[in-house]
Amino acid sequence: MSINRRNFLKTLGVTGTSIIGARSLSASPSVSTVEMKAVLIDTTRCMGCQSCEYACAEANDLPEPEDYPEVDVNRATTTEQLTVVNGYDTSEGEIYVKKQCFHCNQPACDAACLTKAMHKTDDGPVIWREEKCMGCRYCMVSCPFEVPKFEYDSPVPSIRKCTMCYDRQQEGEIPACVENCPNEAIAFGTRRELLTEARRRISESPDQYYNYIYGEKEAGGTGVLYLASVPFEEVGFDTTVQKESYPEKTKGFLYSVPSIFVLWPMMLLGLYKSTNDKESEDTGDQA
Amino acid sequence: MSQIETVASAEAQADSRWRFLLSELKPKGKIFTPFNIVSVPIIILGLIIIFIRFWKGLGAVTNLSQTVPWGLWIGFDVVTGVAFAGGAYVLTFMVYVLNLKKYEPIVRVTVLNGFLAYLFYAGALLLDLGRPWNVINPIIGNSFGTSSVLFLVAWHFMLYMLATLIEFSPAVAEWLGMERARRILKGMTIGAVIFGITLSTLHQSGLGALYLMAVDKIHPLWYTEFIPILFFVSSIFAGLSMVIFEGSITYRVFSEKVSDKDHKHHDKLIFGMAKVCAGAMFAYLFLKLLILVHEQQWALLSTGFGAWYLLEIVGFVILPMILFISSIKQHNLVLSKIAAVLTLVGIILNRLNITVIGFHWDAAVRYVPTWMEIVVTLAIIFIEIWVFRWVILRMPVLSKLSKYRKPLTHQINEAE
Ligand code: SF4
Ligand code: SF4
């Protein structure tokens, strides 16, 4: 018995510590003190000119877009188009909406990624790191907005999505789309500044805006905020998206892991002892 | 014995061990069996498809898309395959922890099945990885995504394979006639068992937890925050049904390896496992009902998907549960086997309903696997059966070693 227990502890010791140790860390992305950068997209100012799409293609070495926004045609982002502008026919006339990654405050993709290739940087942008990713596509399964795109036709596939021009930001520049928008429909700044700005616009011209900031609460808050003149479901937004963050969904499970890791073996060992004790005299070798 | 003699005999032993290993590598039994004739072409075709997959990318052989990134290879091979392999942890729990010795004769073959299932079906995960060379990142620790359920599941797969390997290793040692090693390995069994059960609890439920963040994508009748618990409970009867099902086949195909006494004994074990299955299924149904009431999904039941849901529950959980119970009452083996098959179908339905069929259930373009995805899946199953047969024919899995072959040490002693 003592040998068994020692062996058991050894097995657990060697292989278990890494997992228990790793698991007991917090399941939520770290809350940093740096103010997160964000983007505010004011759809009332967007003319659907596609300048952002062209700028994005150039900044990311991608082919120029070949299609253009058409009312009520839903273009999705692809591995080669990290942002797209769609047109909608609404009660207030035609409205154009730019789509890309939302850069969630607590991104599902980051929580899903087992290699930390998908990563919420302290500055706000959610980036993808080639040298880490193993291409499992769990980020795609988890992202509520279906943003990450996978290169299915490549033997060396990448995950592609908007990075809020993280590399440009590192060099002190602002995202390419923001810089190239002729109508200032896209603003760049800290998330707090932009929320204040959005509220100011709504309160200054209440007739022009629908009183809601999409992204303030969605999915636990996102780094891309939207203003519109109509209710957001009219312009292709999913308004049923939950308000709590998505990683919250797996927290209960992940938090229970360390306790099961401790309780289960103890319970099993106890059970084992109680069921094996009575015979221990007549049958020497138990295991 | 002088030193020279000892060395010489040690050399002779090592030499004969090599000769033994070489001879064991040769095929045993007939070559043109129906199974071989069917499986070999499929395996070859599967390997070709796998080659194309690595050469041209996943899109060349699968129907996966940007909205359905996980298809048959994950939904069936990994998620369903691992549930089917649950028999190993349930049986080791019954035999080693609860000390129900009567199940001992089938524990080895079940653990072997479990190990191979993990090796091949979880191994199928590698085929599905876009960038498999980076799989070392989460293993060697230069990039630990510890908040990821997949991280947990992947690690548990690897550790569990190790645990089942330790549990099975005494059989290998017996086969090689390494008495000392066998005793040491045997001493590690209970540790491996307890570790293995813990790991199984967590990764069986973890496979369900993988889908928790896909809350908007899975049909509400199947999505619940209790998916992990449902996956765990259902892995108990999924695993045991697989043991019943595989057992009936194995005991027929490898009939000559099993004594009449063991055959009779095996029938008794089936009824015992049927009882456990029925109990676990009852608990499962109770949970399902609670969830249905709690989430107030009655209205959904009258839709097409509602009918599909009811078919899964009534036809493939309630019905087999009743069959299990009546098979015990009437002492009818056939009923138990039918129930086991129905249960397995039900598990396939349930896992696929969450991972494939109910995933983006409202999308205009549905994912349907290509024939190539299906062939690769079949090829993996066939390769696993080949390895299984190879081991069964050589190692003391179904019966005690001495029954059909003398241990190696005896042969050596005789040769001298
Ligand atoms: S929108 Fe999707 S990809 Fe972008 S940060 Fe959020 S979860 Fe990640
Ligand atoms: S595909 Fe890459 S980025 Fe996405 S979860 Fe897997 S490892 Fe992370």
Q: Write the ipTM.
A: 0.87
Q: What is the mean pLDDT of residues A163-188?
A: 95
Question: Tokens 């899109």 sit at which residue?
Answer: B59
Specify the pLDDT at position B136: 84
Q: Average pLDDT by consecutive 10-residue portion of chain B (416 residues)?
A: 59 75 75 86 95 94 94 94 94 93 91 93 86 86 79 92 94 89 90 94 94 94 94 96 92 81 84 95 95 86 92 96 95 94 97 94 90 96 92 83 45 44
* Residue A143 C-alpha, separation from nearest chain B C-alpha, in angstroms: 8
Q: How many C-beta atoms surround the C-beta of residue A262 within 10 A?
A: 13
Rounded CA-CA distance B84/B90 in Å is 11
Measure Cα distances from B295 to A249, B219, B227, B234, B396 in Å.
16, 13, 13, 20, 51
CB contact under 8 A, A140 and B141: no
Specify the pLDDT at position B252: 84
Where exactly are the structural domains of chain A?
5-249
User: pLDDT exceeding 90 applies to what percent of chain A?
Assistant: 76
Rounded CA-CA distance A3/A12 in Å is 14
CB contact under 8 A, B56 and A249: no
| Strand, coil or helix: B252 | helix
Contacts of A151 in chain B (CB under 8 A): 57, 130
* Ligand minimally distant from the alpha carbon of residue B151: 2
pTM for the model stands at 0.88
Contacts of A4 in chain B (CB under 8 A): 187, 190-191
| Residue A102, ligand 1, Cβ within 6 A | yes
Measure Cα distances from A62 to A66, A67, A99, B66 in Å.
12, 14, 17, 18
Pocket of ligand 2 (CB under 6 A): A 112-113, 115, 117-118, 128, 133-139, 159
B60-93 residue pLDDT tens:
999 999 999 999 999 999 999 999 999 999 999 9
Specify the pLDDT at position B142: 65
Sign of the four-CA dihedral B407, B408, B411, B416: negative
Among the residue ranges A19-23, A204-208, B345-349, the one predicted with the least confidence is A19-23
Q: What is the mean pLDDT of residues A40-54?
A: 95
Which CATH code for domain A5-249?
3.30.70.20
Nearest CB to A116 within list B60, B132, B145: B145
Rounded CA-CA distance B248/B269 in Å is 11
Q: Ligand 2 centre from A42 Cα, in Å? A: 31
Specify the pLDDT at position B323: 96
**Residue in A161, A237, A248 to alter for ligand 1 test, most ligand atoms within 8 A of Cβ:** A161
B349-400 residue pLDDT tens:
999 999 999 999 988 888 999 999 999 999 999 999 999 999 988 888 887 6
Rounded CA-CA distance B185/B399 in Å is 19
Give yes or no for A176 touching B (CB within 8 A): no
CB contact under 8 A, B131 and A27: no
Superfamily, domain B66-397: Formate dehydrogenase/DMSO reductase domain (1.20.1630.10)
pLDDT at residue A11 is higher than 50: no
Q: Ligand 2 centre from B186 Cα, in Å? A: 40
Specify the pLDDT at position B27: 72
Where exactly are the structural domains of chain B?
66-397
Q: Ligand 2 centre from B358 Cα, in Å? A: 23
Give the closest residue to B88 by CA, choosing from B115, B55, B57. Answer: B115
Contact between residue B239 and residue B90 where contact means Cβ atoms under 8 Å apart: yes
Indicate which residue's Cα is closest to atom 5 of ligand 2: A113
Nearest CB to A22 within list B62, B70, B144: B144
* Residue A203 C-alpha, separation from nearest chain B C-alpha, in angstroms: 33
Q: Binning pLDDT at 50, 70 and 90, where does residue A1 land?
A: very low
Q: How many C-beta atoms surround the C-beta of residue A134 within 10 A?
A: 25
Contact between residue A37 and residue A190 where contact means Cβ atoms under 8 Å apart: yes
* Residue A224 C-alpha, separation from nearest chain B C-alpha, in angstroms: 20
CB contact under 8 A, A11 and B186: no
pLDDT averaged over chain A? 86
Give yes or no for A76 touching B (CB within 8 A): yes
Distance, CA of A191 to chain centre: 16
* Residue A84 C-alpha, separation from nearest chain B C-alpha, in angstroms: 16
Q: Binning pLDDT at 50, 70 and 90, where does residue A29 land?
A: very low
Give yes or no for B372 touching A (CB within 8 A): no
* Ligand minimally distant from the alpha carbon of residue A138: 2
Give the closest residue to A41 by CA, choosing from A188, A160, A140. Answer: A188
pLDDT at residue A3 is higher than 70: no
Give yes or no for A104 touching B (CB within 8 A): no
Sign of the four-CA dihedral B139, B140, B143, B147: positive
Rounded CA-CA distance A82/A45 in Å is 21
* Residue B19 C-alpha, separation from nearest chain A C-alpha, in angstroms: 32
Q: Ligand 2 centre from B363 Cα, in Å? A: 24
* Ligand minimally distant from the alpha carbon of residue B135: 2
